[in-house]
Every structure is written in structure tokens, then in C-alpha cells.
Amino acid sequence: MESLEILKIIHIDICGLFNTSWLNGQRYFISFINDNSIFIYFYLLFDKVETLNAFKTYKVEVEKQKGKYYKVI
């Protein structure tokens, strides 16, 4: 499903638990991919319970940046 409108469709993926951690000990990451522009945001997470906070941060940042609101996630 492809969209011509920015922020209409966003794909989200959570990856981890990795054996090796990143700089500060994070062992998961979450990615947000815009279906139209293929613009990708990554957030490093210590645990999966941080997923909602990462989404809230991403949503506010991108909606302010683009001046548009999400349709489908």
C-alpha cells in the first residue's frame, strides 16, 4: 500500500533484544518509516516499555516539522 500524501501511512518496527548493547546500554530500537518519502527515524530503547514514549516523541517532532497530522499508523 503506497501513499502519495506525507504522513498518511507510517510503518513501525521494534527490534531487539540484542546481545550487544549500544553506547548507553540500549538493547532495542524502534523505527518509524514514512510510506511516501521512506524517511526513517530510529530511537534506541533500553526496554520495550519505552515504545509509547518513543512514539509520542516521534509524533510531536514530525507533525511540527511537516505541519501535517497522521492518518494511519
pLDDT digits (tens, 9 = 90+) for 33-70: 887 777 889 999 999 999 999 999 988 888 888 777 76
- Structural domain includes residue 54: yes
Domain count, the chain: 1
CA-CA-CA-CA dihedral for 23, 28, 37, 56, to nearest 10: -100
- Structural domain includes residue 73: no
- Structural domain includes residue 2: no
- Structural domain includes residue 16: yes
- Structural domain includes residue 5: no
Q: Is the pLDDT of residue 30 over 90?
A: yes
Alpha-carbon gap, residue 43 to 58, rounded angstroms: 9
Whole-prediction pTM? 0.75
Alpha-carbon gap, residue 10 to 38, rounded angstroms: 9
Of residues 69 and 15, the one with the higher pLDDT is 15
- Structural domain includes residue 35: yes
Confidence at residue 33, expressed as pLDDT on a 0 to 100 scale: 87
Domain region containing 18: 10-66
Confidence at residue 29, expressed as pLDDT on a 0 to 100 scale: 93
